[in-house]
Amino acid sequence: MEIDLCYKIHHESNYNWEQARIVCESEGSDLLVVDNRPLMEFVSHILDKNVTNKRDEQYWIGATDKVQEGNFVWVNGQQVGNNSWHSTEPNNADGDEDCVALWWYNNEMRLEMNDVPCEKYTMKFVCQMKW
Ligand SMILES: [Ca+2]
Ligand SMILES: [Ca+2]
Instruction: Assess whether pLDDT exceeds 70 at residue 113.
Output: yes
- The pLDDT tens digits of the residues spanning 96-105 come to 999 999 988 7
- Asked whether residue 34 is domain-assigned, the answer is yes
Nearest to 36 by CA among 70, 58, 71, 4: 4
What's the whole-number mean pLDDT along residues 8-28?
94
Q: Is the dihedral of CA 66, 20, 89, 86 positive or negative?
A: positive
- Residue 3's identity, in one-letter code, is I
- Asked whether residue 1 is domain-assigned, the answer is no
Strand 123-129 and strand 7-15: pairing? antiparallel
Domain that holds residue 38: 7-129
The bound ligand whose nearest atom lies closest to the alpha carbon of 99 is 1
- The pLDDT tens digits of the residues spanning 31-53 come to 999 988 888 888 888 888 877 77
pLDDT on residue 3? 67
Distance (angstroms) between ligand 1 centre and the Cα of 68 equals: 8
What's the whole-number mean pLDDT along residues 60-89?
94
- Asked whether residue 114 is domain-assigned, the answer is yes
The band of 13, judged by pLDDT with boundaries at 50, 70 and 90, is: confident
C-alpha distances (whole Å) from 29 to each of 26, 72, 109 are: 7, 20, 26
Distance CA 91, CA 114 (A): 8
Distance CA 28, CA 30 (A): 7
- Asked whether residue 88 is domain-assigned, the answer is yes
pLDDT on residue 108? 65
Query: Among the ranges 4-8, 65-69, 81-85, which has the highest mean pLDDT value?
Result: 65-69
Strand 99-104 and strand 111-116: pairing? antiparallel
Is residue 53 within 8 A of residue 47, CB to CB? The reply is no
Distance (angstroms) between ligand 2 centre and the Cα of 100 equals: 8
Distance (angstroms) between ligand 2 centre and the Cα of 96 equals: 9
- Asked whether residue 101 is domain-assigned, the answer is yes
pLDDT on residue 76? 94
Of 3 and 116, the one with more pLDDT? 116
- Residue 115's identity, in one-letter code, is D
Q: Which CATH number belongs to the domain containing residue 49 in this structure?
A: 3.10.100.10
- Asked whether residue 75 is domain-assigned, the answer is yes
- Asked whether residue 2 is domain-assigned, the answer is no
- Asked whether residue 60 is domain-assigned, the answer is yes
Mean per-residue pLDDT of the chain: 89
Tell me the β-bridge partners of 59.
102, 124
Tally of structural domains, the chain: 1
